Chain A
Amino acid sequence: MTDTGLFIDGVAITLEGREILSLTRKVAPGEVLTVMGPSGAGKSTLLAYIGGVLDSVFSTTGRVFVDGVDVTALKPEDRHMGVLFQDPLLFPHMSVGGNLMFALPEAVRGRAKRAAHVAHALEGVGLAGLENRDPATLSGGQKARVALARVLVSSPRALLLDEPFSKLDADLRAQTRELVFSKARDSGLPVLLVTHDEADAEAACGDIVRIGA
């Protein structure tokens, strides 16, 4: 069982000789590790490193494993780390369904089968039948849910959440948070959440790491 989940093994990130953060943690499938810290503490840097998109001005040591596979040297597109940002960032030139179709792995073949997958994913976030909508016409909460459906339908190995609830108003925030965590739990995805909101950390019901304090 030690092989499953996300394993951050002795990761240290330095910028111009100054260490920004160092971390060793395991996140089991379905669990959430919350990384907290003030803005500028390097939370997003950690996510960029794990996602494989860190700017080359940073130097790094350590390794990242997903389900026992060392992904440290892999290209970002081969890591399958689903990302959610504080903005939904739906592709504005594609319909809601188009966004999900783009995310759906190629392994799912056949037009009907792919459409069924997408419909199912939208249903799962309570947005059944919105395939043909222009993302620009959705409400803020709907956009956040489409973004969630999009990342889930891509069959990621882990979820990286970069303050994904901070732009939603209080009501919507609790709701969306609940949806994201329950979906991750159901799919057995290890989740790395960075935030500066204590309520996010509490709702995550997992370990909390504080950095840059």
Chain B
Amino acid sequence: MLDVNALRNPRVMITLLLLIAAVLVPFFAGNFLVSFGSRIIIWTIAAISLNVILGYGGMVSFGHAAYLGIGGYAVGIMAHHGINSGFLQWPVAMLASALWALAVGALSMRTRGVYFIMITLAFAQLIYFVGVGLEAYGGDDGLTIYKRSEFAGILSLKNRATFYWTCFVLMLGVFYLCHRLVQSRFGMVLQGSKSNDLRMRALGFPTTRYRLTAFTLAGAMCGLAGALLANQTDFISPAMMHWTASGDLIVIVVLGGMGTLFGPLYGAIAFFVLEESLKPLIDWVRPGWGDYWRLLFGPLLVMVALYARGGLDSLFERAARPRHG
């Protein structure tokens, strides 16, 4: 299946090496790195889902963290009531997120541009305040999950490495799904609508229902990421669906390269590695200033917006292009 020539492409090489290294992480890395890796993988899944609608569909959803929260709360609330089976929790998490995405999408698709950005944000805020108001489940303070999702003894997510590999396999699955999805007829319509919606409609595509379907699928995908996140942190709180988390997701997608398959992975790695490494790096240059790493990270985002919209993916591609002269 794999084209041997493709290996000469640095993008493919980088991704393959990353993936191989990622599989091996639990063998050589300590607890911190394994948890760190799980976190990156979970956010990658969430970012892939956003990439489907933002990168391929051109829909700037500024409320994507809501689905992360709904997925997390589905797991947390069920665990709170003694329902610990992941076979039940995870599908419910995905279904609940998908339903909410369907509702939000159906209303938001009536608007365009800035209004679309704002209405998705408003609906996410709505869910955020629902979380704050859910006093039975901790309200503002959140809720501790005492038992991770159980899979009839097949998988023990309490084991750090097992949890990591579970996330990893799910990420690969979601990548493959996304790959098939965007290449399919459905994906062509989605991308066509991003490119020129008016023309797509004139061609005879009722584009709204395709966009809405993508929006709903993305919601379900992100709900899965939310279920994983709740298991990883053993905790849910409204903070996981704060609007800044939606902003973080956009940053990850753009940083990695919008509308590219592996962009979300590059973006999530870059985002979290920067977050963890800028601090010691600055401390090393100027002791005591490491805490203020966002003073660098903020302007970095401005730079990305201004000068590097292709993200890391296009950087790798440029490195891959044969030089002339």
Q: Do A and B bind each other?
A: no
The residues of B with any CB-CB pair to A shorter than 8 Å are: none
The residues of A with any CB-CB pair to B shorter than 8 Å are: none
